Amino acid sequence: MDVLAVIGATGRLLLGVLAVIAPLLIWQWTIVLARSYRGRPGPAGLTVAASVMVGIAALAALIPGSILTWDAIAARGGFWELSLREFLSVSVGIARQAIPALQATLQFDDQRRNFQAWLAAAFALWLVRMVLGLVAGPPRGVRRFLLAELVCFVVGVFATIYAGPLLLWSINRLNFWIFLVLILLIQDCRYDEPPLILRLAARPIRMFHQHHALPSALS
């Protein structure tokens, strides 16, 4: 009975971890799958940078500064002391409200035009990437190139909107252990090529391509 309880607890833990990291894995898989449509020429990372900038702007427009203090993040009873289910519910709410909040901020509460300047820089980066990609010649046609760029951009925006609350919640759950995790990830990125996260994210894509290449190899 104890063994079954341990197995059940382990299964719930793994499902919880999968639920937490799933949006970030989807982001990575989207970039990997779209690579053949977006092409190699030009700085493809500009699309990622632009989407992250838009996501940060949306979070800044929605999340008040009062829940970004250290007490709200790390202290017992703070805003980010949430269970897994509560965190996922809050994250869904933030994802649904972030873009409308950004639109409202641009329309009614951006007298200094800080948000406008930030977003202009983001879309300028994306425009540079699009122009360079089109000039170089998309490998599978212009329509597929534009669609792949749009999908990568939109997924990147919402992944960033999710990653912000995830970071704050992780600090609350792990407290100072989060710094150890960050150090391990930095060391992995420095000395492993590609990093562990990218290897894990790319494995399902590689298995997918191998599975679909099998019939042609047998023929």
Query: Does 212 fall in a domain?
Result: no
pLDDT of residue 140: 85
Confidence bin at 185 (pLDDT 50/70/90): low
| Residue 24 pLDDT exceeds 70 | yes
Among 85-89, 147-151, 197-201, which stretch is predicted with the lowest mean pLDDT?
Answer: 197-201
Query: Does 39 fall in a domain?
Result: yes
Looking at the chain, the whole-number percentage of residues with pLDDT higher than 70 is 75
Of residues 11 and 199, which shows the higher confidence score?
11
C-beta of residue 44 within 8 angstroms of C-beta of residue 214: no
pLDDT of residue 177: 62
pLDDT of residue 147: 94
Q: Which domain holds residue 38?
A: 2-175
pLDDT of residue 192: 53
Residue 116, Cα to own-chain centre: how many angstroms? 23
Mean pLDDT of 110-121: 90
Confidence bin at 49 (pLDDT 50/70/90): very high
Query: Does 144 fall in a domain?
Result: yes
118 CB-side CA count, 13 A: 19
Could you tell me where the DSSP H helices lie in 41-113? 45-62, 70-74, 84-108
- How far apart CA 60 and CA 102 sit, in angstroms, is 8
Angle value at C-alpha 55, between 41 and 70, nearest 5 degrees: 130
pLDDT of residue 201: 54
pLDDT in tens, 137-168: 888 889 999 999 999 999 999 999 999 999 89
Query: Does 35 fall in a domain?
Result: yes
pLDDT of residue 137: 82
Angle value at C-alpha 78, between 77 and 80, nearest 5 degrees: 115
List, in order, residues 6 or more apart from 9 with CB less than 8 Å away. Answer: none
Domain count, the chain: 1
Q: Mean pLDDT of all residues in the chain?
A: 81
Mean pLDDT of 78-82: 90
Confidence bin at 191 (pLDDT 50/70/90): low
Query: Does 218 fall in a domain?
Result: no
Query: Does 213 fall in a domain?
Result: no
Query: Does 185 fall in a domain?
Result: no
Query: Does 50 fall in a domain?
Result: yes
C-beta of residue 47 within 8 angstroms of C-beta of residue 138: no
Peptide bond before residue 139 is cis, with ω within 30 degrees of 0: no
φ, ψ of residue 53 to 5 degrees: the values are: -65, -40
